[in-house]
Amino acid sequence: MSKVIKVLKLQDGIGRKGARRSRALVAGGAGFLGSHLCERLLADGYEVLALDNFHTGKRYNLNAILGNPAFRCIEHDIVDALPEDIPVDEIYNLACPASPPHYQADPIHTFKTSVLGSLNLLELARRHSAKIFQASTSEVYGDPLVHPQPESYLGNVNTHGPRSCYDEGKRSAETLFFDYSRTFGIDIRVARIFNTYGRRMQPDDGRVVSNFIVQALRGEDLTVYGSGMQTRSFCYVDDLIEGFIRLMRAPTPPPHPVNLGNPAEFTVMDLARLVVDYTNSRSRIVHRPLPIDDPRQRRPDISFARQYLDWEPTIDLSQGLARTVEYFDALLYGHRPVREAAVS
């Protein structure tokens, strides 16, 4: 059953100059990415309805916008039938746990969220002729045999491993989106998101950036899985949200998913050393066995996004880590000073 977190009717849709405001629905709107997207859409003049089951999203992520008369939030799981009376112009599907500890905690529900949730949102888009965005993932490439990964690469995914509930769920969601587009003519936009970090990640998120920062701030050992020579590409959240907006506002839908991520590549050991430095921590770096199906390398080829969307990240890892360390320091301990990170 849906539960309205903020009982507030959206405005009548009339903007200051008499034009009707566009209405956007953000599934997963209280999450790490979803809350940032809601803020951006409100700043751009949209009315925004957020849906979230609050399994991993946090109510306090929405504190800055709860007083906005153009915003409303409903507690709802998109696996269940959607509320009937929600006319929208744009839909953003960000509703799925994205970190391994969270999506592996209930793998069946994770898969249902990707598949049944996508079906429900696609049907809503069909009823209202709405444009719809799908947050897919670089995990569809699995442990890639092609590097960097272009959108044309079909991937190397284990279909029955502990990560497959997420990887295969997202791959299935992509299939549904493109089938709905071909069958019903729906305007779809699909983004494959590479590792993203920044404000509003949770201390128990389980992804490498948040793990390292929290461990360093607490003076604990930084846990590196495997040798640490596996690589990742880290995109700051503000850059990613800009990519979402440009993809949705492109004049025509791309014929395939679009990679969104930062092509700068770092080893996990590089990241661990940077975090220790930025936090002035005395934490040691310790090694643990590599989890099953953990990819050895990950880097997006963003040639298409550069050409088609005129988009590429502008915030480097030094800048982004400094901001993220400051956020976690305030979240965990209040506002004690954090050393300014040197730009490498």
Task: Quote the CA–CA distance of 341 and 280 in Å, as a whole number.
Answer: 10
Residue 338 has pLDDT above 80, yes or no: no
In this predicted structure, what is the pLDDT of residue 82?
93
Residue 201 has pLDDT above 90, yes or no: yes
In this predicted structure, what is the pLDDT of residue 84?
75
Cα-based angle 196, 155, 313 (whole degrees, multiple of 5):
30
Task: Quote the CA–CA distance of 192 and 258 in Å, as a whole number.
Answer: 6
Strands 188-193 and 131-137: parallel
CA atoms within 13 A on the CB side of 51: 26
Weakest-pLDDT range from 13-22, 38-47, 67-76, 321-330: 13-22
Query: Letter for the amino acid at 8?
Result: L
Let me know if 166 is a catalytic residue.
yes
Alpha helices (runs of H) in the chain, residue ranges in sequence order:
32-43, 100-105, 107-128, 164-184, 208-217, 237-249, 268-278, 303-304, 317-333
In this predicted structure, what is the pLDDT of residue 19?
61
Average pLDDT over residues 19-38: 94
From the candidates 46, 103, 141, 166, give the one annotated as an active-site residue. 166
In this predicted structure, what is the pLDDT of residue 335?
53
Residue 12 has pLDDT above 80, yes or no: no
How many other C-beta atoms lie within 10 A of the C-beta of residue 33? Answer: 24
DSSP 8-class letter at 147? S
**In sequence order, which residues have a C-beta less than 8 Å from that of residue 143 and are 6 or more positions away?**
156, 158, 293, 294, 295, 296
What are the helix and strand counts (H, E) for the chain?
Answer: 9, 14
pLDDT one-digit tens code per residue, 66-98? 999 999 999 999 999 998 778 999 999 999 988
Report the side by side order of strands in the sheet with 258-260.
Answer: 3-4, 71-75, 47-52, 23-27, 90-93, 131-137, 188-193, 258-260
Tokens of 44: 């751009």
Residue 177 has pLDDT above 90, yes or no: yes
Residue 343 has pLDDT above 90, yes or no: no
Q: Which one, of 45, 118, 100, 87, lies nearest residue 210 by Cα? A: 100
pLDDT class for 339, splitting at 50, 70, 90? Answer: very low
Task: Quote the CA–CA distance of 153 and 140 in Å, as a whole number.
Answer: 10
In this predicted structure, what is the pLDDT of residue 344?
26
Task: Quote the CA–CA distance of 50 and 34 in Å, as a whole number.
Answer: 8
CA distances from 27 to 49, 70, 113, 199, 266 (A): 8, 16, 11, 19, 31
DSSP 8-class letter at 221? P
Weakest-pLDDT range from 13-22, 102-111, 159-168: 13-22
Tokens of 144: 């890639």
Three-state SS for 143?
Answer: coil
Three-state SS for 136?
Answer: strand
In this predicted structure, what is the pLDDT of residue 3?
52
Three-state SS for 288?
Answer: strand
CA distances from 103 to 23, 110, 137, 247, 260 (A): 30, 6, 13, 26, 21
pLDDT one-digit tens code per residue, 222-258? 999 999 999 999 999 999 999 999 999 999 999 999 9
Q: Which residue has the higher pLDDT, 335 or 170?
A: 170
In this predicted structure, what is the pLDDT of residue 4?
45
> For the domain bounded by 3-194+237-262+300-314, which CATH number is listed?
3.40.50.720
CA atoms within 13 A on the CB side of 180: 28
- Look up tokens 């949770």; give the residue: 202
Domain extents for the chain? 3-194+237-262+300-314
Average pLDDT over residues 251-280: 96
Helical packing angle, 208-217 and 268-278, nearest 10°: 30
Average pLDDT over the chain, rounded to whole? 91
Task: Quote the CA–CA distance of 114 and 131 in Å, as a whole number.
Answer: 18
Of all residues in the chain, the percent with pLDDT exceeding 70 is 92
